[in-house]
Amino acid sequence: MNKECITYYKYNALGAIMYIKKIILKISFISLILFNSVSISNSADTIKVGTLLPYSGVYTVLGEEITNAMILAFDEVGNSISGKNIEVIKGDTEVKPNIALQKARKLISSNKVDILVGPVSSSVALAVRNLVVQSKTPLIIPNAGANVLTGEKCSKFITRISFSNHQINAPMGTWLAKSGIKSAFLLAPDYAAGKEMMKAFKTNFEEAGGKILGEEYTPFRKTKDFGPYLARVKNSGADAVYVFYAGGEAINFIKQAKSFGLGEVMKLTGAGWTTSPLFIPAQKEAAIGFIGSLNYVPSINTEENKAFIKAYKDKFGRAPSEFAVQGYDSGKVIIKAIESLSGNIKDKDKLAEAISSVSIIGPRGPLTIDPRTNNVIQNIYIFEVVNGDQGPELKVLDTIEAVKSPGEGCNL
Ligand code: BEZ
């Protein structure tokens, strides 16, 4: 082959390669635009709500109640807000902080959720706090009470519509001391919530003249046999035991305290979840006589509460508890916040502000968020478990109105 010929083929081959490259580039560019517009239009049409709740482990029933009731609130608006569909993506925390952190990362980075709802446990909430704040993912807390989340570690991206551990337990310290209980023994699971609840109770109880005769913290998620603790409580000679338990631990504790005869020698008192309407069907008669405090009681006599109880019973075949109320209110807050932005939720700062500015009338009554801390302001009900027409029920002894969480260290 002569020199010209070689040059001719060389240039033609080069030209062909360049031409093919150009086409490939064009195709990739077009598919990039197409792919993006599909994913943008998908995400633009859908509001993704990620849950960080327990669907396994000691607090499973709590996570399920919260999820059920939130989905009920979404059903009531046809699963659509301002023309956008709602998609709920579940993340099971297993009540384990390290697992919860992995699930939160996945929901934020892979699923690209717009809002997170969770957790149940204070320790889990403390574990995911920095991630949600740094990623600017608005978090609605439907249970976990860790004080600092609306205290020194508060953030505009965290709104708590449930309670703080202080808010539920401090009023009980004052109330029990004033009602004639002179001494108490404290018993709770050994993790953030148990410690904070006992501290809040103790501070107010002592301020009102009460004495703490002892305190014990049981290994969290591991204690099945409360026998040794019950013996020490009994031997203390206190007027009352003040406890916090929830989930399977609440059921076991109340049943074992009854078999042990603890209620015959002292008053059984504590954070009201210990005899939540969610656990009473399993605790039965053993729950009778317990005095506790909660942010919701089923007997609240309002149209909103009656309608909620009916809707929940119709859909799930049983009465709701305070956990369900917190899930339902989370759903309502999401709906109202997104409506206030006409569905425009791209700006996460604005979305977070809209969430904490919402006020609704829920089963608990009017729900307002304290603008200084982003923690809910609410009534606290002090109740006794009594025998009612349908079995054990919560009878309200006193209502402490519009209780705020101190929120020390927070200035939003
Ligand atoms: C908590 O860990 O904050 C908690 C768990 C169950 C009931 C109440 C509080």
Reduce the secondary structure of the chain to three states and give it as a string. CCHHHHHHHHHHHHHHHHHHHHHHHHHHHHHHHHHHHHHHHHHHHEEEEEEEECCCCCCHHHHHHHHHHHHHHHHHCCCEECCEEEEEEEEECCCCHHHHHHHHHHHHHCCCCCEEECCCCHHHHHHHHHHHHHCCCCEEECCCCCHHHHCCCCCCCEEECCCCHHHHHHHHHHHHHHCCCCEEEEEEECCHHHHHHHHHHHHHHHHCCCEEEEEEEECCCCCCCCHHHHHHHHHHCCCEEEECCCHHHHHHHHHHHHHHCHHHHCEEEEEHHHHCCCCHHHHHHHHCCCEEEECCCCCCCCHHHHHHHHHHHHHHCCCCCHHHHHHHHHHHHHHHHHHHCCCCCCCHHHHHHHHHHCCEEECCEEEEECCCCCEEEEEEEEEEEEEECCEEEEEEEEEEEEECCCCCCCCC
User: How far is the C-alpha of 79 from the C-alpha of 264, rounded, in Å?
Assistant: 51
**Cα(192) to centroid of ligand 1, in Å?**
9
Q: What residues does ligand 1 touch, defined as CB less than 6 Å away?
A: 120-122, 143-145, 193, 246, 273
Q: What does each of the 412 residues of the chain score in pLDDT, given as a tens digit?
A: 444 434 333 444 444 444 444 444 444 433 333 333 333 334 579 999 999 999 999 999 999 999 999 999 999 999 999 999 999 999 999 999 999 999 999 999 999 999 999 999 999 999 999 999 999 999 999 999 999 999 999 999 999 999 999 999 999 999 999 999 999 999 999 999 999 999 999 999 999 999 999 999 999 999 999 999 999 999 999 999 999 999 999 999 999 999 999 999 999 999 999 999 999 999 999 999 999 999 999 999 999 999 999 999 999 999 999 999 999 999 999 999 999 999 999 999 999 999 999 999 999 998 999 999 999 999 999 999 999 998 999 999 999 999 999 999 998 9
Nearest CA to ligand 1 atom 6: 246
**Cα(170) to centroid of ligand 1, in Å?**
15
**Cα(144) to centroid of ligand 1, in Å?**
5
**Cα(120) to centroid of ligand 1, in Å?**
6
**Cα(197) to centroid of ligand 1, in Å?**
9
- Ligand 1 pocket: which of 64, 94, 143, 220 to mutate (most atoms within 8 A of CB): 143
Beta pairing partners, 369 = 376
Atom index in ligand 1 nearest the CA of residue 273 equals: 7
Atom index in ligand 1 nearest the CA of residue 196 equals: 3
User: Which amino acid, one-letter code, is at 148?
Assistant: V
- Ligand 1 pocket: which of 148, 221, 273 to mutate (most atoms within 8 A of CB): 273
- Ligand 1 pocket: which of 163, 164, 165 to mutate (most atoms within 8 A of CB): 165
Q: What is the CA radius of gyration of the chain?
A: 27
User: How far is the C-alpha of 119 from the C-alpha of 128, rounded, in Å?
Assistant: 9
Atom index in ligand 1 nearest the CA of residue 120 equals: 5
| Angle of CA points 70, 358, 160, to nearest 5° | 60
Nearest to 91 by CA among 106, 79, 80, 112: 106
User: How far is the C-alpha of 376 from the C-alpha of 164, rounded, in Å?
Assistant: 9
